[in-house]
Amino acid sequence: MVQRDERLVFVALGGNAFQSIGDRGTPEDYWRNALTAAEVIASIVEEGYRVVVTHGNGPQVGIVSEWMEHLKSKIPPQTLDIAGAMTQGWLGYLLTQAIHNTLADKGLLSRVKGAIAVVNRVAVRDDDPAWSNPTKFVGGWYTDESEVERLSKEKGWVFKKDPRGGWRRVVPSPDPYRNVEVDAVKTLLDSGWIVVASGGGGIPVVEMGGGRLVGREAVIDKDLAGEVLATELGAGHFIILTDVDGAYLSYGRDGAQKLGKVTVSQLEQYYREGHFPPGSMGPKVLACIRFIRHGGLRAAIGHLREGHDVVRGSKGTQVFPDV
Ligand code: ADP
Ligand code: MG
């Protein structure tokens, strides 16, 4: 097992680091949300930790697909792996700029070189059962069921109901097992950068014979891909920041109960009981379980707004190894 670094924090940012409910998704919305995330990252740096950041891209990869769909008579549409790469540049720029400026404002640029985003591939397997069972939400929310039916027929898209309401397109989300650029991320980290990596779960590639890589049309879950990278880097802490203040039992039903401190075995039990649905809280909980089982010191799930306290361990769901 990789030696764990008590002073290395891996942070996974959810969709609300870019677009919150009620936002139209203007550049101003994106910058404002990225700055909220940047405040959290800067506070971790301020406490003397090194940081690696990943982020989701579900809404944005869906937006890029819609742009391509609308313009297809003029500009040939690109594939979903290329759309994923576009979102790494788009969101990587927002985050690195927001982090850089927040560090500058706090006088912390002497501690780190700044923030850098890596165009980053993540390996998945061709025999993954996920290819025939799409679960990953991408793009916007549809409320008109007849439009959902039309899009399913016209484009062959698959839709599912989002727990937050409305319908959203779903795409395959194969299980990641290796971060292709991990050595480069390590080199950047060791030379003083805050690294934004594995964005949107990474660009999905499969390993062919002779060391060749080929892109695949899917969206890897960013929490599961984040765990792979966090473990490969030997991070001590794995922190998932999202739009809910923790993992709940019986979420959305009477008697819903937020999990505070849990051991990995307890959490595995709840996971098996089906408290955490695929495509949202399920992969977050699974990523935390894997991180601890792979030797991590602590994993946590909490609200972005409470990010600092989640990192400190006083808010959110905090997951620890069995005692
Ligand atoms: P992100 O963009 O941060 O990855 P997701 O939408 O994938 O966010 O996951 C967060 C959502 O998971 C919450 O908004 C909440 O509606 C949903 N959710 C489903 N089950 C649970 C649960 N058991 N506890 C907490 N949140 C849950
Ligand atoms: Mg998610």
What average pLDDT values come out for the chain (323 residues) when binned by 10 residues?
Answer: 92 92 92 97 96 95 89 92 97 98 96 97 97 85 90 87 86 96 98 98 97 95 98 98 97 96 98 92 97 98 97 98 94
Residue 298 in tokens? 């602590």
Question: Atom of ligand 1 at shortest distance to CA of 13?
Answer: 3
The answer to whether position 64 is within a domain reads no
161 noted as active-site residue: no
Residue 169: predicted pLDDT: 86
Residue 323: predicted pLDDT: 87
The answer to whether position 204 is within a domain reads yes
Residue 76: predicted pLDDT: 94
Residue 204: predicted pLDDT: 98
Residue 291: predicted pLDDT: 98
Of 85, 10, 58, whose CA–CA distance to 279 is shortest? Answer: 58
Torsion of CA 302, 305, 310, 312, to 10 degrees: 180
Residue 15: predicted pLDDT: 87
15 noted as active-site residue: yes
Which of 281, 288, 304 for mutating ligand 1's site (highest number of atoms within 8 Å of CB)?
A: 281
136 noted as active-site residue: yes
How many structural domains compose the chain? Answer: 1
The answer to whether position 232 is within a domain reads yes
**Is there an atom of ligand 1 within 6 Å of 114 CB?**
no
If you take atom 19 of ligand 1, which residue's CA is the nearest one? Answer: 281
Q: Which domain holds residue 13?
A: 5-54+72-124+176-320
Residue 322: predicted pLDDT: 97
* Cα 311 to ligand 1 centroid, rounded to whole Å: 19
The residues that bridge with 242 in the sheet, in sequence order, are 303
* Cα 105 to ligand 1 centroid, rounded to whole Å: 32
**Is there an atom of ligand 1 within 6 Å of 49 CB?**
no
Residue 301: predicted pLDDT: 98
Q: What share of the chain has pLDDT > 90, as a percent?
A: 84
If you take atom 18 of ligand 1, which residue's CA is the nearest one? Answer: 281
Residue 280: predicted pLDDT: 87
* Cα 55 to ligand 1 centroid, rounded to whole Å: 15
Residue 155: predicted pLDDT: 79
The answer to whether position 60 is within a domain reads no
Q: What is the CATH number of the domain that holds 94?
A: 3.40.1160.10
Residue 162: predicted pLDDT: 84
The answer to whether position 170 is within a domain reads no
If you take atom 13 of ligand 1, which residue's CA is the nearest one? Answer: 244
The alpha-carbon radius of gyration of the chain (Å, integer) is 19
**Is there an atom of ligand 1 within 6 Å of 242 CB?**
yes
The answer to whether position 133 is within a domain reads no
The answer to whether position 140 is within a domain reads no
Residue 164: predicted pLDDT: 76
Backbone angles phi, psi at 191, to 5 degrees: -95, 15
Backbone angles phi, psi at 123, to 5 degrees: -85, 135
* Cα 249 to ligand 1 centroid, rounded to whole Å: 12
Which of 20, 137, 222, 244 for mutating ligand 1's site (highest number of atoms within 8 Å of CB)?
A: 244
Residue 253 in tokens? 């039903």
**Is there an atom of ligand 1 within 6 Å of 14 CB?**
yes
The answer to whether position 160 is within a domain reads no
Question: Atom of ligand 1 at shortest distance to CA of 258?
Answer: 24
If you take atom 5 of ligand 1, which residue's CA is the nearest one? Answer: 280
